[in-house]
Amino acid sequence: MKRLLIYIAIFLFCAHVFAIDLQQAKAQGLVGEANNGYLAPVTLSPSSEVRQLIQQVNIDRKESYQRIAVSNGLTLSEVARLAYQKAVEKTESGHFYQNPSGLWVKK
């Protein structure tokens, strides 16, 4: 039983090590900053790993945006719009962002 638990722990650790992170996904052109203040896939058919990354990042962002909105008397959409503007400014060369009309642009 102890050996089985060790194997499971090693498997979970290894799976986490190989999981793609946000910077890798951006550098590979898989995700970009969408014009709504959230992360979105750049490709039409993202892998399940990329979809999970996007979902988790966007959950975290929405929670953060909500806290900022409440603290500053703003709406969630106002905070998301401001975050989008900041994200475009901070987007690294070679990474993607969505312009206001919805087209993906490589910076």
Give the tens place of pLDDT for each residue, 36-62.
999 999 999 999 999 999 999 999 999
Q: Tell whether 100 is covered by a domain.
A: yes
Mean pLDDT of 79-99: 95
- 3-class DSSP state of 76: helix
Q: Tell whether 44 is covered by a domain.
A: yes
pTM: 0.80
Q: Tell whether 95 is covered by a domain.
A: yes
Q: Tell whether 2 is covered by a domain.
A: no
- 3-class DSSP state of 59: helix
Dihedral sign of CA atoms 68, 82, 54, 10 in order: negative
Phi and psi, residue 106, nearest 5°: -95, 125
Give the tens place of pLDDT for each residue, 31-43.
999 999 999 999 9
Across the chain, what does the average pLDDT equal? 86
Q: Tell whether 39 is covered by a domain.
A: yes
Q: Tell whether 91 is covered by a domain.
A: yes
Alpha-carbon distance of 96 to 87, in angstroms, equals 11
Domain that holds residue 85: 21-106
Give the chain's domain count. 1
Give the tens place of pLDDT for each residue, 7-27.
444 444 444 444 689 999 999
- 3-class DSSP state of 57: helix
Q: Tell whether 8 is covered by a domain.
A: no
Q: Tell whether 84 is covered by a domain.
A: yes
